Every structure is written in structure tokens, then in C-alpha cells.
Structure 1
């Protein structure tokens, strides 16, 4: 009798194990199908795809013999943020650094970011997230200087580099972000480089990063491909022919917002001093410099290049991550609309919704 009961119980246990295996296998197949569909969408040009692409390697040829410049060493931090130094329970490990490229006099824009999406960076985040504004130096009037001093003392979230705040010096800010990251948060998992005119959908960003937590050395964003270099010297994105003679610019990530995995930072800082400087920030960092590392591109992942006129894109649960070229008042309006029309979702809920 006991043997019969044992066999029955064993059969029930085996049945449960088999059912569990079927569920696990089904989920694996479903996720695999999801990625296959995502890859197909990417090939079809969908802005919400998220596919890995190899970079063109060694775009400028062999640079190993080049005498290294002091471009990284020359970047100094005149004001240094303390915002990434304190977290609850003494946990200093940073999952994501949100590095906002701003202009010295954009006081209102920075305040709006702090009040809108910047105020929610820790909501439902898988780990510690910190936000730092990166600005350059500027010969401003005394009133602006006082305002800036008040800002850095009140918020402690601004880092200032020793380069003039001009469009052509944007590349120095991006290099400064890499240097600052390596110096102060070297174990960070991801860095989001983002301009201060960008609307950001945080839950979707976190979902995208979680999906790529186990991928190494990548740059994620909107991939620019097939673009022709601007050869007119009067254009701000002037691309000298003696720098690169190709008729098509190598694939790169558009500059308003892109993610660099933390394990790629030191590699970029190592190769940048040996590469002739190009003043077009996104191409120099994400195409030319990255081509001398083991980096891959992951795009487009919901990063929009053009301004989205559909505010519904920024509701929680949609697939869009970011869009740029908004005025400060528009940043606030979109944020407020999204908060009213949507509800906060945890990253696990977002994952299930995307499936």
C-alpha cells in the first residue's frame, strides 16, 4: 500500500516537473521568437527595433603608431558633482549614470529636467541611478555667475569642464563624460549621454538596458547610416576630406542620446588620444573611436532622432525611449501629460507588456 502511495506521489511530482519544464521551454521559445521578430522589424527599418550590428573597423587605418595627444589629460573638472557619492544603505555601486550635456546658461532647462524626468530616475530602477549635468565654461555676466554658484551649491549635480561652451567643443564634453566616469564611477554598468532638450521615457530605457544587461561593449541608440559627409567649411558639421575621404559616413549613433556600456569606457579613453580629433562629437565617439575597440552598435531601440509630434509616444508602456529638440516648456508639458495619462510600471511589468 505504501509503495502504491509512493508511486502516485512520485507520478504527481514528475508531472509537475514536466509541466514546469514545458512552461520554461515555452517561455524560452517565446522570447526567442520575440527577438527574431525584433530583428526582422529592425531590418525593415522600424524605429523601435533593437538589433546588434558590427562596426566598420579601423576607419582611419592603423593609428597605433600615432603619437598620443593630451586631449584626455587636458580636460579638467573646474566644478565636480557629488551626486553619485551617496545612496541608501551605503551602496555605492552605480547601475546607470545619466550624463546630461547642457550649456552653462541653461539654468531653466536644468531645473525643468530636475522637476520632470530627472525627479523620477530612481523610480522602479533596477539599481542605483544618478544624474549629472555637464557644462563648459563661459564668459558670462556677474548675475549668471552668482546664479551658477547658487545652483551648484544647492543641487551638487553639475560638473563643469575647462573648455569653452561652444558647439565645436561638444566633443570635449563627451570625452569629459568618459573621463569623469572612469575617475569617479568606474564600475558603472551603463552611461546614458543625453542632451538637455531630450524627452526621456525612463521605464522604456530601463527595459532596454535590462534586456542587454549581459551584453558587453556596446553603444545603443539611433543608428545613422548612409549619410554623406558635409564638405562645405561653413557648415557646423563640416567633415574634411583629408580626414576621411569616403563618400558615405560610417554608421554612428546620433548624438542627442545614446548609451555606452561601462566596460567600454576605458577602451575609448585609451584609443582617443591616438586618433585625429574630429569636431563632430557623435561620429568621432561612436563611429571612429569605437571602431578601434571591440564595440558593437545596438539600435535603434526606440531612440528617435527627429522630434516626435505624438506625445502619446512618451506614455509608459509604449516602445519609445527618447526624442529631442524640445523647448523647456515642451519638456514640462510632455512630462505632465505622460504622468496624467499613464501610470508607473515596474521594469518587470514593462518586460511582460513588451512580450
Structure 2
């Protein structure tokens, strides 16, 4: 009897102590962090120290596309992809990226990529680019630590090459986009300016454990906390906001975590507000078939997931949507 009463009391006390310690740590971190100090630290004041690509925007393209010149693009989807991920690109083209119009809005999908030192791989990329006309290859080595270059290049490229764009959608190449949910969102809220819609992280802390994939030492970032930033797996941004972020990078020092750099540091500099994604829109990692999310990590159920989404289209409209037996057939118009 004594033990039955005593143990819950211990647990209650432990929870209270943990909560108090958590509050103290939070207050201490907040007192040792300020947006102003972060902005001061990340700003490159000496022109001699500016990065040719990140700050001076001296991007050039080994592979490029004129797709936005050949047809108007209301919605531009930029996909961060790696050189060797040709299978992921094909899976995207076979499914959601094969759609070029939805609810009277034209859609263009562009795959953003860096350089490779593998000659045979580059030759395959050239062939892929000629066939699909949807690859942009920048003048930096394609690597995980160079994603910030890719991110800035992509924002600048869209603003330069797709002047009619009303919305930019940024995704990684392992993300399946439910364009029906995207169309529903646009129908409800329309196209907006100064707009950044994402799954945002507040009170996020640097990983200080060596060996971690996201390890950041004190020399790389001296503060106890990061500014608010977005998950880079998928987000929506207005072209005017993307242009502001691109221009803001002209004097912001390089930081290898691209999500944090673009949607954290640059957003902080321009004073853009993050609009938090509502449930059903944010990035979902699932092996269960669903039509209730805008962005899905469905690598292992990719085609079955897409077929499940397509089958949710009302039957009378399947012919108009170019849908046969639950699958898209080539270039598809959804209207």
C-alpha cells in the first residue's frame, strides 16, 4: 500500500522538477539570444569576404531550360534533386510533375541540380535534360553541404526566367505533391504577396554533439538557439518574397543548413512572417495511403499513393483530367 502511494508521488515531483528546470533553461536561452545579435553576426560587412555565388550571385548554368518562355507558368515547382537521383526524378514526372495545368493555372516543374565530376553521369544528365527540358544545373559541386547554393540559385532562377509566376513551390525530390490539395488551397486563399507558408520550427537549438548529421560547432554558430525557420522538405512562397530573400543573401554569410539560411536568416533580415501550415497541408511521412495531405514522403509506396490520390477525383471528371484506370497518362491537364 505504501509503495502504491509513494511511487506516483515521486513521479509527480519528478515531473514538477523537470518542468521547472525546463522553464529555467528556456528563460536562460532566451536571455542569451536575440534576433539583433544574430543579424549582426551573419552579416558580411567586408566586400572582400563576400562569396562569389552566395553573395554576388555569379551563377552560371551547364544545363538550362526555356520552359517558362515556351509557355506561361502560374505555379513553378522547384525540386531540389541530387545528380544520381534520376529514378526519383522519373517517378515525379510519371506522377504529379506530369501535370501541367490545374484549375486554369499552368504548372511548371524544374529540377535543380549541381555539378558532378563523373563524366558518364554528366552525359546521362545531358541526355535527360534534352529529353525532358526540365533541369537547371548550377556551377557548384552537387553535395549536401552545398544545398544553400542550390537554394539561392533556384530562387534567383525562377524570378529571372519565370516572370509570370504567381506562386513558387519548393520541394525535395523525395516529396510527392498532392496537387489537388494545393489547388484547393489556392482556390480558397488565392495568390498572395509577401507569403511564406511552411511547417515552421520555433525554439530550435543547434546540434552540438559531434558525429550528428546536423552538428554545428560554436565557431560556426555561437548562439544558443536558431531563429524561426521552415522545414525545407516543402513550402510555398510568393515570387516577390522569394526575390526579397534572394536579394537579402547579398551580404549574409554562408551557412550550410539551407533551410535555416533561406527561411531563417534571410527571412529574419527582410522581416517576412512565417505562415504556419495547417494540418493536412504539412509534410507527412507515411506508408499508409492518404489523400489528406499536400506533401507526402511516400518513397516506398510512391505509385500506389499517387494512384490512390488520383482515384479520389470524382468519376465524371476523370476523362477531362486525363485519368485512365487511376493513373495519369502523359502530360495531364486538371481543370
Q: Residue 102 of structure 1 aligns with which residue? A: 81
Name the CA distance, whole Å, in 1 between partners of 2:308 and 2:86: 23
Q: Residue 294 of structure 2 aligns with which residue? A: 321
What displacement does 1:65 show?
4.0
Name the CA distance, whole Å, in 2 between partners of 1:165 and 1:303: 29
Query: CA 1:109–1:127 in structure 2 vs 1: closer, same or farther (change >3 Å)?
Result: same
Look up the SS of the partner of 2:70 in the other structure.
coil
Identify which of 31, 41, 52 aligns with 1:70: 52
What displacement does 1:226 show?
2.4
- Is 1:156 aligned to residue 133 of structure 2? yes
Look up the SS of the partner of 1:159 in the other structure.
strand
Task: Deviation per CA, 1:176-222: give whole Å up to 9, x if none.
Answer: 10121122113422111111101211121122234443542121111
Name the CA distance, whole Å, in 1 between partners of 2:102 and 2:192: 24
Name the CA distance, whole Å, in 2 between partners of 1:115 and 1:84: 20
Query: CA 1:345–1:223 in structure 2 vs 1: closer, same or farther (change >3 Å)?
Result: farther
- Is 1:287 aligned to residue 271 of structure 2? no
Q: Structure 2 length as normaliser, TM-score?
A: 0.75
Query: CA 1:345–1:148 in structure 2 vs 1: closer, same or farther (change >3 Å)?
Result: farther
- Is 1:116 aligned to residue 87 of structure 2? no
Q: Residue 234 of structure 1 aligns with which residue? A: 211
Q: How many residues align?
A: 277
Identify which of 328, 331, 337 aligns with 2:308: 337
Look up the SS of the partner of 1:128 in the other structure.
strand
Contact residue 224 and residue 251 of structure 1 kept, 8 A: yes
What displacement does 1:274 show?
0.9
Contact residue 58 and residue 291 of structure 1 kept, 8 A: no
Task: Deviation per CA, 1:13-64: give whole Å up to 9, x if none.
Answer: xxxxxxxxxxxxxxxxxxxxxxxxxxxxxxxxxxxxxxxxxxx855623438
Contact residue 192 and residue 258 of structure 1 kept, 8 A: yes
Name the CA distance, whole Å, in 2 between partners of 1:344 and 1:256: 32
Look up the SS of the partner of 1:111 in the other structure.
helix
Query: CA 1:128–1:265 in structure 2 vs 1: closer, same or farther (change >3 Å)?
Result: same
Look up the SS of the partner of 2:87 in the other structure.
helix
Contact residue 200 and residue 322 of structure 1 kept, 8 A: yes
CA RMSD of aligned residues (A): 2.5
Name the CA distance, whole Å, in 1 between partners of 2:315 and 2:210: 47
Name the CA distance, whole Å, in 1 between partners of 2:150 and 2:37: 23
Identify which of 225, 229, 248 aligns with 1:252: 229
Contact residue 100 and residue 108 of structure 2 kept, 8 A: yes
Task: Deviation per CA, 1:130-188: give whole Å up to 9, x if none.
Answer: 1111111112252x333222211111111111111111111111111012112211342
Name the CA distance, whole Å, in 2 between partners of 1:145 and 1:242: 36
Look up the SS of the partner of 1:168 in the other structure.
helix
Q: Residue 21 of structure 2 aligns with which residue? A: none
Q: Structure 1 length as normaliser, TM-score?
A: 0.71
Contact residue 63 and residue 126 of structure 2 kept, 8 A: no
- 200-209 or 276-285, larger mean C-alpha shift: 200-209
What displacement does 1:337 show?
2.3
Structure 2 residues not aligned, in runs of 5+:
1-33, 318-335
Look up the SS of the partner of 1:84 in the other structure.
helix
Name the CA distance, whole Å, in 1 between partners of 2:316 and 2:102: 9
Name the CA distance, whole Å, in 2 between partners of 1:121 and 1:221: 23
Q: Residue 208 of structure 1 aligns with which residue? A: 185
